[in-house]
């Protein structure tokens, strides 16, 4: 019977070995407050775009020639009815299909 040995990296403290490795797929992002208009709702919430990035680039992002991000994550969403302007619901998180977005713009109080 053959024995195999797995050599593990030495633990240096201060966190797990995994957390000390650089995450190659991680992208630093910043929060941007936006107003989104769909057919039925006006949504005010936060989207996360790459640091020093543009909202347009975030929405048009593709990977390998295919649109891989069909949904836009929106945090702290306040959803108002287009028909009567009334606040219909507040949600910590909404996943919004890009095809439903008619208009998106930065909220006027952004820094």
**Residues with Cβ < 8 Å from 50, sequence gap 6 or more?**
27, 28, 29, 30, 57, 58
pTM over 0.75: no
Measured in degrees and rounded to the nearest 5, phi and psi for residue 49 equal -115, 155
**Burial tier of 104 (Cβ tally within 10 Å: 0-12, 13-18, 19+):** buried
80-102 pLDDT, tens digit per residue, is 999 999 999 999 999 999 889 99
- What residue ranges do the domains of the chain occupy? 26-58+69-106
Q: Tell me, what's the pLDDT at 100?
A: 92
CA 65 to chain CA centroid, Å, is: 20
Q: Does position 11 have pLDDT exceeding 60, yes or no? A: no
Q: Does domain 26-58+69-106 have CATH number 3.30.540.10?
A: no
């Amino acid at each position: 019977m053959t024995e195999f040995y797995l050599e593990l990296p030495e633990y240096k403290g201060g966190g797990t070995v995994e957390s000390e490795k650089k995450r190659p797929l991680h992208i630093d992002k910043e929060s941007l407050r936006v107003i989104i208009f769909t057919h039925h709702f006006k949504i005010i919430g936060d989207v996360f775009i790459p640091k020093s990035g543009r909202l347009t680039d975030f929405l048009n992002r593709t990977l390998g020639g295919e649109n891989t991000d069909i949904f836009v994550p929106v945090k702290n969403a306040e959803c108002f009815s287009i028909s009567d302007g009334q606040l219909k619901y507040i949600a910590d998180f909404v996943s919004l299909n890009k095809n439903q977005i008619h208009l998106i713009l930065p909220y006027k109080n952004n820094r």
